[in-house]
């Protein structure tokens, strides 16, 4: 997969590049600010981009705005946003325009190399990846009652909102695929969500339920 990176810290930019190259990906460009990054995306049209939220010159949400631009202009490019801290509001902004092919993770997650690469894969192939902390914030401020769900069903719901597939959920919870499917059907029934077969539509349904 071809990737373009936007990260202003030299240390992390090089680290990320090496990490991706070691995993067999091609890093087409690694830039330190939003403008250069957008030019690189236009030049290379990669499979996915990895973007840091805070970048020069304003050091506020430059990166996020660049990511939103990429999301709108190049629908086929997967957008994975990394941030030093995660805010449910940023995630909602990112997801609301296009619920597939986007991800929003805490920067620390790159330490778990395989999970990070997994999330990037999902985003590049049109899935989604949401940080567990974002999901926790969404669950915490959900306007809808989740009281009817069993604790296990809540766990499954959280993993689903992160963008995991059934098999990934089964693996994370150390249960069989059939059990996960049963839980998911129960969740959909209890929350009144129409079941869907594609991953991202499922996430969208969950997020819509939690967020609005």
Partner 1 sequence: MFLVRDLVSPRTWLAMTSHLAGLFLGLAVMVVFITGLSLGFSLLVLALVGLPILGLTLRVADWFARAERARLRLMLGMPIPAWPAGIRAGYRWGVVPRWRTLGERATWGEIGYGLLRCPFSAVAATVSVSAWAAGLVMLTLPLYNSDLPSGGASFGQMVFRGTPTMAASAVIGLIVLLAAPQLTRGLAAADAALARWLLGPRRDLAARVAELEISRERVVDAAEAERRRIERDLHDGAQQRLVALAMELGRAKARFADDLDAAKDLVDQAHAQAKEALTELRNLVRGVHPPVLTERGLDAALSGLAALCPVPVEVHVDVPVRPKSSVEAVAYFVVAEALTNVAKHSRASHAKVVVEGHGYPGTLTVMISDDGIGGADGHGPGLSGLADRVSGVDGRLSVESPAGGPTIIAAELPCG
Backbone angles phi, psi at 106, to 5 degrees: -65, 140
Residue whose token pair is 């059939």:
178
**58 forms part of the interface with partner 1 (CB under 8 A):** no
Smallest separation, CB 105 to partner 1 (Å): 12
Residue whose token pair is 């306007």:
143
Nearest partner of 82 among 130, 140, 138, judged by Cα:
130
Smallest separation, CB 170 to partner 1 (Å): 23
List, in order, residues 6 or more apart from 201 with CB less than 8 Å away.
Answer: 99
**12 forms part of the interface with partner 1 (CB under 8 A):** yes
Smallest separation, CB 111 to partner 1 (Å): 3
**60 forms part of the interface with partner 1 (CB under 8 A):** no
For the segment 22-41, give every residue that binds partner 1 (CB under 8 A).
22
**16 forms part of the interface with partner 1 (CB under 8 A):** yes
Q: For residues 90-120, b (16+ Cβ closer than 10 Å) or e, as one string?
A: bbbbbbeebbbbbbbbbbebbeeeeebbbbb
Among 58, 60, 72, 84, which residue sits at the site for partner 1 (rule: CB under 8 A)?
Answer: 84
For the segment 95-124, give every residue that binds partner 1 (CB under 8 A).
107-108, 110-114, 116
Q: Enumerate binding residues for partner 1 (CB under 8 A).
A: 9, 11-12, 15-16, 18-19, 22, 54, 59, 84, 107-108, 110-114, 116
């Amino acid at each position: 997969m071809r990737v373009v990176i936007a990260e202003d810290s030299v240390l992390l930019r090089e680290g990320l590049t090496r990490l991706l190259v070691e995993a067999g990906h091609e890093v087409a460009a690694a830039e330190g600010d939003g403008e250069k990054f957008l030019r690189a995306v236009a030049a290379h049209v990669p499979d996915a981009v990895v973007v840091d939220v805070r970048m020069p010159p304003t050091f506020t949400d430059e990166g996020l705005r660049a990511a939103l631009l990429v999301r709108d202009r190049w629908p086929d490019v997967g957008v994975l946003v990394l941030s030093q801290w995660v805010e449910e509001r940023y995630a909602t902004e990112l997801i609301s325009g296009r619920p597939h092919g986007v991800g929003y993770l805490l920067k620390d997650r790159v330490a778990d190399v395989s999970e990070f690469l997994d999330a990037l894969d999902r985003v590049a192939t049109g899935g989604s990846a949401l940080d567990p902390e974002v999901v926790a914030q969404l669950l915490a401020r959900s306007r809808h009652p989740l009281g009817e769900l069993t604790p296990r069903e809540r766990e499954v719901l959280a993993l689903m909102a992160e963008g995991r597939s059934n098999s990934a959920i089964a693996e994370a919870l150390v249960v069989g695929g059939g059990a996960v499917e049963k839980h998911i059907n129960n969740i959909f029934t209890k929350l009144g969500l129409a079941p869907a077969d594609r991953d991202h539509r499922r996430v969208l349904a969950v997020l819509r339920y939690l967020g609005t």
